[in-house]
Amino acid sequence: MSGRLRIRGGRVYDPANGVDGEVRDLCIEDGRIVAALPAGVPELDATGLVLMAGGVDIHCHIAGPKVSLARRLSPERRRRDVVASRALEDGYLRAGTGGLVPSSFVTGYRYGGMGYTTAFEAAVPPLGARHAHQELNDTPIIDKGFYVLIGNDDFLFRLLDTAGEDEVREHVARTAADARAYALKVVSPGGIAAWKASPRPDTRLGFDETVPGTRAVTPRRIVSAVASAVDALGLPHPLHLHCNDLGMPGNADVTLATMRALEGRRAHLAHLQFHSYGRAPDGRPTSRARELVEYLNEHPELTCDVGQVMFGEATAMTADTRVAELLHRLTGHKWIDLDVELESGCGIVPFEYRPKNYMHALQWAAGLELFLLARDPWQVVLSTDHPNGGSFLAYPRLIRLLMDRAFRDEELKRVNPAALAGTALADGLAREYTLSEIAIVTRAGPARQLGLPRKGQLGAGADADITIYAPQADIEAMFATPRYLFKGGELVVEDGQIVREVYGRTWQVAAPHGREVESAFARFVAERGTMPADQYRVDEDELPRAEIVAAAG
C-alpha cells in the first residue's frame, strides 16, 4: 500500500482546508496526499465512512525517565492488561503491558489503534533526553518528539542575573539542540528550584518573588525571557508553558498573571484545567475557567490544551514535584520524589479521580467549561495530560462528552452536585461539538500550534496519515475503534487492530547557536554538576528516523 491508493467516496472532515463533511476521494502516493491519481490505481471504498487526518496529541507523557519510574512503581496496575507478541503477515508485533502507563511498544500500538498518528512527550529534563529518545525509538506507529525542560535550571538563572537577552537565547537554542528536542517547556517557572532549595514541603514561590540563590530571578522574568527567546529563534512551536501552582485553589490568579506577562508573545498553556481554580471565602476551591476562557477569547496568540480529568485511575507524573508531594500527603499513596541536578525534579503518585469527590468533580467540570465556553476551537486542544488526568485511551469518551449533550447530562448526575454549582455546567451549557470541531481540537489545531504543516490536514502535500471511522450512534465507540488507519500512506490499522508495524519519525528542531554558549555551559556543569557537557548532547546517529524542522528566525 506504500505506493498509490485512492480512498473513494468518504465524508471528509478537514477543517484546515475548509472541508466540512463533503464526500470526496483522497489520493495517496508515496506516503503523501496528492491532488489526483490516474484511473486504474488501487481503490479503497470508503462510502459512508468518515475521514479525518490522523490524530495529533500535543501534550502527553509517554517516554523518558519519569514514565519508566511510574512503570516500575506500579507493576501491580499492569498485570491484568498484557499484550502478547503476535505474528503479522509481514513482521510481528512486540509483547508488552498496558494499563495507564503502557510499555513503549504498546503505547504506539494503542495510539494507532485509536486513530492517532502523532504524539509529543511534554516534559523531558535535558539529562533525560537520551533516555527519552531511546524509548521513543521503541515506540512504533506514531510520529513523535518531546519538549525539553528549561526555566528551573541554574545556568539560566545565572544568565538572567549576569547576562543579556542574546545569551539567554543562545542557551535556549543550545538546550533544544543538545537534547534534539522539538520545543521548549517551562514547568512552574522557578518553582521547582525554590522547592528543591527548601527543606519545607509547603514552600511556594510567588510570581514576583525571587528564586532562592539568585539576585533577581522571578517566575515573571523566566516566562518573559524564555518566551522571547523562543519567538526570536522562530521555533515552530511557541513556549509550552505549565504555570505555577498547579492544582492549588486560587491558582487562576497566577495563571492570569502569567498570561498577561506574556504581553502578546505566543505561548501554549499546558493542561489549563489544572490552573483554573479560585478559592471561595470559606477556603473551598471553585472554578474560574470562565475567566481564563474569556482571556483566551481575546488573545489569539495564546493556545491551550485542556488536561481534562476523567474519572478512574490516573498517575500524577510531573516535574512539579511539589504537587506530587501534596497528592502523596492527601492520599498516603506511594510516591517518587527525584531531584535532578541543576535543572529539574520529578514527582510521581498513583492516583484516582472519583466523581463524588468535590475537588475531582470540580476539576472535571472546569475542563468541560474550557472546552464548551471557548469561542475558537483552534485555541483549544483535547488532552488529558495523559496519564495525569487519565489515560489517552479516554479520549473517545471525552469526545462523546463534548459531542453528545444527552450523554453529558447523564454524566452530570453522577458527579458531586456541590462541585457543579457555580460552574457553567450548572447553567445547562447546551453546546455540542460538531465533527468538524472535533477534527480541530484533535488534529488540525494541535498540528497548527506545533508548526507541523504536513500534519492535521488532508490537502495535497500532507503526510498521508488518515483515520477512517465508521459513524455510529455511540460516538465513544466510533472514535475508540477506527475502521482504518493509514500512517505515511501505509494501512496499519483495520477495525482497531494493528495489521502492520511501521515506525514513525522523531521530530526535532534545528536551533542554531554559537560555540561560546557551549563552552560557558561546559564550564558551568564542570563546576557544579557531575555530568560532562558532552553527555548532554544526543548524537545524530541516536535517532534513526529523525525529521528536522528549521527554525524560522
Spatial separation of the C-alpha atoms in residues 382 and 401, rounded to whole Å: 12
Per-position x/- string for 182-221, each x denoting binding to another protein as judged by CB under 8 A, each - no binding: --------------xxxxxx--------------------
Given its phi and psi angles, is residue 84 left (phi above 0), alpha (psi -120 to 50 degrees) or beta?
A: beta
Site size toward another protein (CB under 8 A) is 61
Which one of 248, 259, 342, 475 is in contact with another protein (CB under 8 A)?
Answer: 342
Segment contacting another protein by CB under 8 A, of 15-23, 352-360, 488-496, 521-529: 521-529
Is residue 263 within 8 Å of 301, Cβ to Cβ?
no
Check residue 332 and report its DSSP letter.
-
Smallest distance, another protein to C-beta of residue 96, A:
6
Smallest distance, another protein to C-beta of residue 319, A:
13
Which one of 166, 209, 341, 547 is in contact with another protein (CB under 8 A)?
Answer: 341
- Using CB under 8 A as the binding rule, whether residue 71 contacts another protein is answered as yes
Smallest distance, another protein to C-beta of residue 365, A:
31
Smallest distance, another protein to C-beta of residue 367, A:
28
Buried b (16+ CB within 10 A) or exposed e, 326-344: bbbeeeebebbbbebebbb
Smallest distance, another protein to C-beta of residue 201, A:
6
SS3 annotation, 403-434: HCHHHHHHHHCCCCHHHHCCCHHHHCCCCCCC
Judged by CB, which is closer to another protein: 154, or 465? 154
Question: Within 13 Å of residue 169, how many CA atoms lie on the same side as its CB?
Answer: 16
- Using CB under 8 A as the binding rule, whether residue 60 contacts another protein is answered as no
Smallest distance, another protein to C-beta of residue 210, A:
17
Residues 123-182 that bind another protein (CB under 8 A): 127-128, 130-131, 134-135, 138
Is residue 385 within 8 Å of 60, Cβ to Cβ?
yes
**CB-CB neighbours of 134 under 10 Å:** 15
SS3 352: strand
Given its phi and psi angles, is residue 331 left (phi above 0), alpha (psi -120 to 50 degrees) or beta?
A: alpha
Judged by CB, which is closer to another protein: 285, or 347? 347
Which one of 79, 80, 413, 515 is in contact with another protein (CB under 8 A)?
Answer: 79
Smallest distance, another protein to C-beta of residue 110, A:
13
Cell of 449: 500550534
Per-position x/- string for 292-331, each x denoting binding to another protein as judged by CB under 8 A, each - no binding: ---------------------------------x------
Check residue 485 and report its DSSP letter.
E
Per-position x/- string for 81-100, each x denoting binding to another protein as judged by CB under 8 A, each - no binding: -xxxxxx----x-xxxx-x-
Which backbone phi and psi does 58 adopt, to 5 degrees? -85, -15
Is residue 267 within 8 Å of 300, Cβ to Cβ?
no
List the one residue out of 480, 491, 507, 502 whose CA is nearest residue 139.
502
Judged by CB, which is closer to another protein: 42, or 544? 544
Smallest distance, another protein to C-beta of residue 391, A:
14
Cell of 236: 515552530
SS3 annotation, 28-86: EECCEEECCCCCCCCEEECCCCEEEECEEEEEECCCCHHHHHHHHHCHHHCCCCEECCE
CA angle 548, 178, 164 (to 5 degrees): 110
Residues 530-549 that bind another protein (CB under 8 A): 530-531, 535, 539, 542
Which one of 68, 210, 297, 357 is in contact with another protein (CB under 8 A)?
Answer: 68
Smallest distance, another protein to C-beta of residue 30, A:
28
Which one of 49, 63, 478, 491 is in contact with another protein (CB under 8 A)?
Answer: 63
Segment contacting another protein by CB under 8 A, of 69-77, 221-229, 460-468, 474-482: 69-77
Cell of 481: 475503534
Smallest distance, another protein to C-beta of residue 545, A:
16
Judged by CB, which is closer to another protein: 65, or 219? 65
Residues 242-261 that bind another protein (CB under 8 A): none
- Using CB under 8 A as the binding rule, whether residue 519 contacts another protein is answered as no
Residues 344-373 that bind another protein (CB under 8 A): 348
Which one of 334, 356, 375, 545 is in contact with another protein (CB under 8 A)?
Answer: 334
Which backbone phi and psi does 8 adopt, to 5 degrees? -105, 135
Check residue 126 and report its DSSP letter.
G
Residue ranges in contact with another protein by CB under 8 A:
63, 65, 67-69, 71-75, 78-79, 82-87, 92, 94-97, 99, 101-105, 127-128, 130-131, 134-135, 138, 196-201, 325, 334-342, 348, 527-531, 535, 539, 542
